[in-house]
Structure formats: C-alpha cells, structure tokens
Amino acid sequence: MNTETSNNNPLLCDIETGMCETTDENTDTASQSNMQATKKSVKLIYYTDPICSSCWGIEPQLRKLKLEYGNAIEIEYRMGGLLPDWSYNSGGIGKPSDVAHHWDEVSEHYDMPIDGDLWLEDPLDSSYPPSIAFKAAQIQDEEKAHLFMREIREMVFLKKKNIAKWEHLEVAAKKVGLDTEQFKTDFESKAKGLFEEDLKLGRELGVRGFPTIFFMDDVGNKEIVYGTKPYAFYEMAILKLNPNATKSEYSKDWKTLFSKYNSLTAKEFSELSGNPRNESEKILNELSDKKILEKLTTKNGSMWTIKNNNQ
C-alpha cells in the first residue's frame, strides 16, 4: 500500500481516499483556540481549491447538506493552494498533459462531468489566481463568493476554461453579480493576503489534501471528514456534535431544486431529489427536450441549467 508521502502529487487525486493531496508535509495539529465559536450550532471549515476534482465530487453531498442542515450549520470556505506551479514531479504527474487522463478517470468514479482535455488544450500554470479571486469575491459578499466558486468550477471542469486567466474570472464575477471594479481592485491587493492567511491556517490545522472538512461546535469539540465520502459521513459528523440538529424537509421536485441551484448534474439531481440516477437523467433530458432546461454535454457527462426567464 502506498504511503501518503510517496504519492503526494497535488493533482493526482486518490480515488480510494477521495483526496487531492498537497506536497506540504506539515502535519501540526491546531490548538483548540483556532476554533471560533459561531452563532449556528456547528461550524464547518471546508478546505478546498477551485481545481480540486475530488471537491467537485462532493458537490452533490454539500448541496444536500445545505438544504437539510442549513439551519444548523455554517460553512466557511478556505483555500488550500493545490497547485502553486509546475516545479515538481511526483506521483506520476510532472506536466499538465499528465492530468488529462486522470481527470477523466476521476469524472467516471464520482459520476460528475469533468473534461480532462483542458490540460491538453489550455492548461493552468497555477491554481493560485482563481483561489485569490475567490477571496476577492468573499470580501464583497459571502453568498456571491459561493456562487462564484461554483461558476469557475463549471468553467474549468466542463467548459475547459483556464480559470487562472483574468478574462474568465471577470466573466464569472459579472455573472454572479459581483462589482467587477471592486473585484479587480481586491484581487490585486488585499485578497492575496487573505489567501496567505488561509494557507497559514491550513498548515496549522494539518491540512494535507482536499476536500478536508472540520466540523466544530462552540466549545471546541471537533470531527474531521477527509476526502470524498457518502452523504451519511457528513451528516453523522454534524449529529455527533449536535444530536439535536434537526433535518429540514425540502421540496424535491425539479422546479424547487432548480430555484435553489441554478445548475445541476444528474448525480446532483439524483442526490437531492431521491430519484434513482438513471431516472434522474431521464427527467432532466425530458425537460431539456421541452426547452425548459439547457443541457451542456461534455465527453464525460452533462449538466442542466434552468433557462433564464425574467420572472
């Protein structure tokens, strides 16, 4: 069995553990003083990266968690710095083209559309620019920052856009309603410092890969879920810390789900609606045939988006 240190290439996500690991070997654990008390009963610190394919793999679970436990949890997104640059060679990946096949494999494993050809056509030099851009979005509006993260992930995983380029970051910012002037100013100034703070806290917490989610209550009790896990793992972590957290009921029809989330993959729709995976795709295809939804097809799956109507 490979040890973590012998296979620690950040872009080589381990399908068995569901982790995209960093090359940083600092494993110091954080003191309880880093765990701040919050208004909601359970706080989640979610360490991620815009190009983390395993993090794309937990979008269905996270979206369901927000619908069912949104009244009990607060999710704080932190950037982990998955790809500083290409000045390394480990785990069989030393250049962008090595990632292409790996992303295609990850896509099949998680049943989430990812087109690895990005790494052959317009590869990223680093995941730092989109990470800093997310921090710039957070400065303006936390909710819009989450929408921005989703938008740039759709760009990189499905649309093969190099999200290290400013032109794509700006388009995403505009689409989710951010003030693009302020966004650019913050991107070029204070957002970098905020990103550095995320990296520093990540080192203190011993984060070595993504996704890593720390679940904490207001007295410092902590549960950690490493990697991409089934929904029950995240739910159990919440209920361990707050056995009284109540699950919210939500409408599972397509109209309600698309009013909450503008775009859904078949896996996401299946997770949120409770319909079997094959039936979910059939429902979504029927809606796109009727021109109610727009379907974006990649070589490794599709995503459906609600058509804009000025209602």
Residue 34 lies in a domain: yes
| Alpha-carbon distances, residue 56 vs 89, 99, 195 (angstroms) | 24, 15, 20
Residue 5 lies in a domain: no
Residues 185 and 288 in one domain: no
Which residues face 46 on adjacent strands? 77, 213
Contact 225, 234 (CB under 8 A): yes
The Cα–Cα gap between 182 and 190 comes to: 11
Stated as kind and residue range, the H or E segment containing 124 is none
Residue 248 lies in a domain: no
Number of domains present in the structure of the chain: 2
Domain boundary among 210, 244, 267: 210
pLDDT at 309 over 70: no
Residues 22 and 123 in one domain: yes
Q: How confident is the model at residue 40 (pLDDT cuts 50, 70, 90)?
A: confident
Residues 48 and 150 in one domain: yes
Residues 24 and 88 in one domain: yes
Residues 37 and 168 in one domain: yes
Residue 236 lies in a domain: no
Residues 68 and 151 in one domain: yes
The residue among 24, 2, 23, 45 whose CA lies nearest residue 198 is 45
Q: Which pLDDT score is estimated for 43?
A: 97
Residue 245 lies in a domain: no
Which pairs with CB-CB distance under 8 Å and at least 24 residues apart come from 88-94?
88/9, 88/23, 90/7, 90/8, 90/9, 90/12, 90/23, 91/7, 91/8, 91/9, 91/12, 92/9, 92/12, 93/9, 93/11, 93/12
Residues 263 and 157 in one domain: no
Q: Which two tokens stand for residue 261?
A: 């989330």
pLDDT at 24 over 70: no
Residue 219 lies in a domain: no
Task: Please tell me whether the peptide bond between 211 and the residue prior to it is cis, using omega within 30 degrees of 0.
Answer: yes
The Cα–Cα gap between 50 and 192 comes to: 15
Q: What is the CATH number of the domain that holds 197?
A: 3.40.30.10
Q: Which pLDDT score is estimated for 310?
A: 34
Q: What is the CATH number of the domain that holds 302?
A: 1.10.10.10
CA angle 127, 99, 131 (to 5 degrees): 10
In the block, which residue shows the tokens 């927000």?
66
Residues 204 and 283 in one domain: no
> What confidence tens digit (pLDDT) does each residue in 248-296 have?
999 999 999 999 999 999 999 999 999 999 999 999 999 999 999 999 9
Residues 282 and 162 in one domain: no
Q: Which pLDDT score is estimated for 19?
A: 78
In the block, which residue shows the tokens 């995403």?
172
Residue 220 lies in a domain: no
Average pLDDT score over the chain: 90
Which residues face 251 on adjacent strands? none
Q: Which two tokens stand for residue 139?
A: 């400065």
Q: How confident is the model at residue 91 (pLDDT cuts 50, 70, 90)?
A: low
DSSP 3-state assignment of 83?
Answer: coil
Residues 270 and 136 in one domain: no
The parent domain of residue 263 ranges over: 254-306
Residues 59 and 177 in one domain: yes
Residue 302 lies in a domain: yes
pTM to 2 decimals?
0.89
Q: Which pLDDT score is estimated for 13?
A: 78
Residues 286 and 205 in one domain: no
